[in-house]
Structure 1
Amino acid sequence: MNPGVRSVIRSVVLATAVLVGVGGGPTFARDHDDARRAVEAGEIRPLAEILNVVKGKLPGDVVGVKLEREAGTWMYEFRVVDRKGRVFEIHVNAKSGEVERTKEK
């Protein structure tokens, strides 16, 4: 895929990805307002800032992202596709920017 097209797709995905989630597991940010409030309260760092921190640590292109609270800690969950087409789920601490775990899907 053309790098310019990939960049546009990535921007659209990231701009709309911090949205809704439900269930008995992690608590997901219900909407952009939840994410904004968490940033304003200093609970998390902005997504763009986190991406700058972790971009060299990711094994491919980000194709999706969620913001969720796991055991009281806000985490960004990135979906990443590498050059071989493998999909990875990468959990990053939303406050520190540390990669907590990586799992191939």
Structure 2
Amino acid sequence: MPFFHTRLERSLPMTTAVLLALLVSLGTAHASGDDDHERAHRAVQAGEVMPLEQVLPRIAKDHPGQVLKIELEREDGLWTYEVKLLRADGQLVKLLLDARTAEVLRARRHR
């Protein structure tokens, strides 16, 4: 049982930080209106972006872990998902995916 408490104590600051970031991003999204949401919805409808319910199972096969954050961006005409996840061994992994195919373009591991 002490191991569980130790893991919980170590993950609590990260969980708090993720929740704080989520609250800040919700405030930002609300302030900017629904433009980002609508733009993403149109991209999915047009087939330019794969829906998350299809993306997440694909990346979980090669990159298992708890998803902490997902961002959808468009740069130079390419839609990408940036996925941050926490592996069971405590390692943070950042993935950059082609949002249309879910192909991993870049993967970085951080301790």
TM-score w.r.t. length of structure 2: 0.63
Q: Do structure 1's residue 88 and structure 2's residue 87 form an aligned pair?
A: no
Q: Do structure 1's residue 75 and structure 2's residue 80 form an aligned pair?
A: yes
Q: Percent identity?
A: 35
RMSD of aligned alpha carbons: 2.8
1:36 equivalent in structure 2: 41
Aligned residue among 25, 42, 46 for 2:51: 46
Amino acid aligned to 1:102: A
Displacement of 1:59 after TM fit? 4.0
Q: How many residues align structurally?
A: 84
Corresponding residue SS for 1:38: helix
Unaligned runs of 5+ in 1: 2-8, 22-29
2:10 equivalent in structure 1: none
Question: Which structure's relative contact order is higher, taking Cα pairs within 8 Å and 6+ residues apart?
Answer: 1
1:26 equivalent in structure 2: none
Using the alignment, how far apart are the partners of 1:99 and 1:40 within structure 2? 22
CA offsets per residue over residues 38-79 of structure 1, 9 Å max, x none? 001111111111112221121422111000113321011100
TM-score w.r.t. length of structure 1: 0.66
Corresponding residue SS for 1:96: coil
Using the alignment, how far apart are the partners of 2:57 and 2:87 within structure 1? 18
Using the alignment, how far apart are the partners of 2:75 and 2:56 within structure 1? 19
1:5 equivalent in structure 2: none
Unaligned runs of 5+ in 2: 5-14, 30-34
